[in-house]
A and B are shown apart, each in its own frame.
Chain A
Amino acid sequence: MFSQGGKGSETPIQPVRDSHATPRSSGETSIISADLKVIGNLVSGGDIQIKGVVEGDIKSRTVTIGEGAKVKGAINADSVHISGAINGQVEAPSVTVAKTAKVNGDIIHQTLSIEAGAHMEGNCRRIETKKPVDTTTSASIASLKPAASPAPAEVGKKAVGGG
């Protein structure tokens, strides 16, 4: 028997919660598989696992570069784990370099771990505090563009010198 008043079953009664409506909390990991090559930038508010090749910059919350993976470009994240090869600067509060890693570039970190056997070529620089990576797509895209217009300078708030 059908319940009265309803127009059939075209819509569920409870509100549909689209997990993708709040992209920052989807909780799933994006995977770039071993057979895949990405020529371009990756911007994510979540986690990225790379097993293939990326030629471009990566901005994300966490980035895992798997064994056999190759990245040619800068990485900016909250946490980076490297087991593959990277050619470019890594900037993250937490950086882990595994023994299978091949890093060619600088690492800017707060906490750094390098396993014995890792191939490391570049400077390691420690920074005290780092703002969390802004992975809101629009902001990141703007910052990735070379000709992003600078923020307008604050004008007009001149302090009038008191006596």
Chain B
Amino acid sequence: MFLNLGAARDDNARRPASGEILAVGEAYTVINGDLTVIGDLIGDGHIEVKGTVKGTINSRSVEILKTGVVEGAVIAESAIIRGQVIGPVRANTVIAATNARIVGSVFHNVLTIEPGAKLEGRRPWRPHIDRNLDNE
């Protein structure tokens, strides 16, 4: 019933961020530690960010790992934040893990905040978040 999302989880564990089943392979994007993206990422699968993204991320499932930095919005159905997000997060399911730092509003339907996570913005609840709509 309860996913074990302990902080000890290996950053390199290769599995989707959410409980849902995702086709691993074609729909699995990795932004590595040495990669900087200056622009937007728009997808429909899973995005794993270990590097830097200066722009918006919009995908079904997004995981920002410990070393990941996003300077922009994170929009997803399911978002796990273990690194830094300087911008708003909009997702139905949001998990702010121990090392997370979010400087911006967290629009959510289900929000998990692990001890130690730094959330510096508002955390408004919404009945549903559609990542294809650019509202709020």
List residues of A whose CB falls within 8 A of some B CB: 18-20, 23-24, 26, 28-46, 48, 51-52, 55-56, 60, 135, 137, 140-141, 144
Contact = CB atoms under 8 A, between A and B. Distances in A.
Contacts of A137: 36, 52
B34 A26 contact: yes
B33 A23 contact: yes
A144 B44 CA distance: 28
13 contacts: A19-B33, A20-B67, A23-B34, A26-B32, A28-B30, A28-B32, A30-B31, A31-B29, A37-B43, A38-B37, A46-B34, A60-B35, A140-B36
Contact of B41 (A29, A36, A41, A43): A36
A31 B28 contact: yes
B27 interface: yes
B110 interface: no
B38 interface: yes
Given A44-B32, A46-B32, A46-B34, A52 B55 contact: no
A44 B51 CA distance: 9
Contacts of B50: 20
Closest 4 interchain pairs by CB?
Answer: A40-B39, A36-B43, A23-B34, A20-B33
A61 B59 CA distance: 27
Given A20-B67, A38-B37, A40-B55, 18 more contacts: A26-B34, A30-B32, A30-B35, A33-B26, A33-B27, A35-B43, A36-B44, A37-B41, A38-B40, A40-B38, A41-B38, A44-B35, A44-B36, A45-B34, A46-B32, A51-B26, A55-B39, A56-B39
B37 A41 contact: yes
Interface in B1-57: 25-45, 47, 50-52, 54-55
Contacts of A141: 36, 38
Nearest to A18: B67
Contacts of B40: 38-40
A33 B28 contact: yes
Which DSSP category, helix, strand, loop or mixed, fits chain B's interface? strand
A144 B26 contact: no
A33 B45 contact: yes
B35 A144 contact: no
Interface string B102-123: 0000000000000000000000
A36 B30 contact: no
A137 B44 CA distance: 27
A33 B38 contact: no
Contacts of B36: 42-44, 137, 140-141
A30 B43 contact: no
A29 to B, nearest CB: 7
A23 B68 CA distance: 12
A33 B39 contact: no
Contacts of B42: 36-39
